[in-house]
Amino acid sequence: MSRTKTSVAQRPRLLKTLFNLRLEEVGPVLIAALFFFCILTALMLLRPVRDALGMERGIESVRWLFIGTALVTLTVNPLFGWLVSRLKRLQFIGATYTFFVLSLVAFWALLVFAPAAVGQRSGQVFFVWFSVFNLFVTMVFWALLADRFTSEQGKRFFALISVGGTLGAIFGPWLTSQLALPLGTPSLLLVAGGFLLLALSLAWLLVRVVPDQASSMETSAVAGFASEYERIGGGAWAGLRAVFRSRYLTGIAGYILLMTVLATFIYFTRLQMVAAVSDNMDARAEILGQIDMWTQVAVLVLQLTLTGKIIQRYGLGVALAILPIATALGFIGLAIYGSFVMLILLEATTRALQRGVTRPAREALFTVVGREDKYKAKAFVDTFIYRAGDVVGAQTEGALGRLGLAIGGLVSVVVPLALVWAVLGLWLGRAQAGQVALTGPKDEFGGLKQLVEKSVSSSVQ
C-alpha cells in the first residue's frame, strides 16, 4: 500500500523531470499535441499534390505563384479579421476550418466528376489555395494556444506540443503512400478533410479543458474579460494597424519576413540543385523525399531533447537567434564546398531548427499581447508577412540568377540579412521578457488578467 502511495507521489516529480510538466497540465498538452498532429497530417497529405501541380510549368512559374499567394492572403486577412470581430471564438475557429473542409470537398468533386476541366490553370489555383490554407490553419492553432496558455507555460511545453505536429508530418506522407494507389489521389483530399474535422473537435475540447481567465478569476478588474462565449470585437483591419503601431509586433513581423526570405533562398537553391542532379522526375522525388525524411528525424530529435532546455535555460532571444546563425554558416559552407551533401545538411539543419526551436519560441512571443492581437495581428503577420517574404526571396533569388551570380553572390546577401535577423531575435527575447515582468501573477491555465493584458497592449503600441 505504501509503495502505491509512493509511486503516485512520485508521478508529478517524474513528469517535472522528464517533460517539465505539472500533473494537471498533462491533459491539455496531450489534446493540443493531438490537435497539431491532425493539422500536420492533413497538410502533409496534400503537399505532394500541391508541389506536383505547381511545378507543371517550371520553376519560374512558382515565383509568380508566390506573388498570387501573397495577394490572396492580403485579401483574405480583412475577411478573417471581420470574422474574429463578429463571431464568438469557437465560431470563427469553426468557420475557418469548415471553409477549408468544404473547399477540399469541392476540389475532390472537380477531380472526380469533371476531370477534363482540371488543367494547368486549376493546378495553379490549387497551389495558391493550399499555400493560403497551410498558413491559416496553423495560425489559428497557435493563436488558440497563445490565448489559452501563459507565457511561462508556453516556454515550457510549446516545444513538446510541437512533437505532435512533427509526428503528423511523418504520418501524413506515410498515409499518402499507403492510400494513393488503392483510393486514388482525389480521395486523399477527403481524408485530409476528415483530419481537419477531427482537429476542429479537438479545438472545442481544448477550450473546454483549459479554463478561461474569466471563469477562473473573480476580481472586478477581470470581470469583462472575453471568454470563448464572447466576441473579441474590433475592426476588420485592426490586425494590420496593430502591427504598424506596436514596435514589438513590428519586430515580430520583421523577424518572420527575414526568416521567410532566407528560407525561400534555400527552397529555390534546392530546386535548382536537384534539377541539376537529375532530369528524371522519379529520381528527383526520391531525393526530395530523403531530404524531408532526414529533416523530420532531426526535428523530432531536437524537440525531444534540446528545444525546451534551450528556451528555459537561455531564453527566447537565444532560441530565436540560433536559426539565423545556422543559416549564415550553412550558406557559407555551401559556397565553399558546393556539394549536394552540403545542401542536404543546410536544409535539414535549418528546417529542423525552424520547427524544433524557432517556431515554439516565436509562438511564445504572442503570449504577452492582447487577445485581439493574438488573433488579428498574428493572422496578418503569420499569413501576409510570411507570404510577402516568400515573394521578396523568390524575386531576389531570381534576379541574382539572371545577373549570373552563383551561390557566392547569394551568400553576400544572406550573411548581412542573417546578422540583422539574429540581432532582431535577441531584441525580441528581451522585449518579451520585459512584457512578462509587467504582467504580475497569472492563474494556472488561463493566461494573463484583463487589467494586465490591457497594460501590456498599450505598452507595446
Please tell me the predicted confidence (pLDDT) of residue 92: 79
At residue 430, φ and ψ (nearest 5 deg) are: -70, -40
pLDDT tens profile 239-261:
778 888 889 999 999 999 999 99
Quick one: average pLDDT of 393-408?
72
Residue 230 belongs to a domain: no
Residue 76 belongs to a domain: yes
pLDDT tens profile 338-382:
776 777 778 778 877 887 788 888 888 888 888 778 778 888 888
Share of the chain above pLDDT 90, in %: 15
Give the rounded distance of the alpha carbon of 335 from its chain centre. 29
Please tell me the predicted confidence (pLDDT) of residue 421: 95
Share of the chain above pLDDT 70, in %: 70
CB of 264 closer than 8 Å to CB of 393? yes
Please tell me the predicted confidence (pLDDT) of residue 451: 33
Residue 231 belongs to a domain: no
Please tell me the predicted confidence (pLDDT) of residue 265: 85
Please tell me the predicted confidence (pLDDT) of residue 183: 79
Please tell me the predicted confidence (pLDDT) of residue 259: 94
Could you give the CA distance from residue 421 to residue 358 in angstroms, rounded to a whole number? 12
Quick one: average pLDDT of 381-410?
78
> Would you say residue 202 has pLDDT above 80?
yes
Quick one: average pLDDT of 85-96?
80
Please tell me the predicted confidence (pLDDT) of residue 222: 34
Number of independent structural domains in the chain: 1
Q: Which residue has the higher pLDDT, 288 or 138?
A: 138
> Would you say residue 308 has pLDDT above 70?
no
Q: Read off the pLDDT band of 453 (50, 70, 90).
A: very low
Residue 295 belongs to a domain: yes
Residue 331 belongs to a domain: yes
Weakest mean pLDDT among 157-166, 191-200, 223-232: 223-232
Residue 120 belongs to a domain: yes
Residue 1 belongs to a domain: no
Please tell me the predicted confidence (pLDDT) of residue 32: 92
Quick one: average pLDDT of 207-220?
54
Residue 81 belongs to a domain: yes
Please tell me the predicted confidence (pLDDT) of residue 461: 37
> Would you say residue 417 has pLDDT above 80?
yes
Please tell me the predicted confidence (pLDDT) of residue 448: 34
Domain of 58, CATH number, reads 1.20.1250.20
Please tell me the predicted confidence (pLDDT) of residue 424: 95
> Would you say residue 133 has pLDDT above 60?
yes
> Would you say residue 166 has pLDDT above 60?
yes
Q: Read off the pLDDT band of 290 (50, 70, 90).
A: low
Task: Give the burial class of 220: count Cβ atoms within 10 A of its Cβ; 0-12 exposed, 13-18 middle, 19 or more buried.
Answer: exposed
Q: Which amino acid is at 159?
A: A
Please tell me the predicted confidence (pLDDT) of residue 422: 95
Please tell me the predicted confidence (pLDDT) of residue 327: 92
Quick one: average pLDDT of 159-175?
84
Q: Read off the pLDDT band of 131 (50, 70, 90).
A: confident
Q: Which residue has the higher pLDDT, 18 or 8?
A: 18
Q: Which of 230, 246, 249 is nearest to 84 (CA)?
A: 230
Please tell me the predicted confidence (pLDDT) of residue 215: 40
Weakest mean pLDDT among 53-57, 104-108, 194-198, 263-267: 53-57
Could you give the CA distance from residue 241 to residue 221 in angstroms, rounded to a whole number? 26
Could you give the CA distance from residue 311 to residue 362 in angstroms, rounded to a whole number? 11
> Would you say residue 440 has pLDDT above 70?
no
Q: Which residue has the higher pLDDT, 296 or 144?
A: 144
Range of the domain at 441: 22-219+238-459
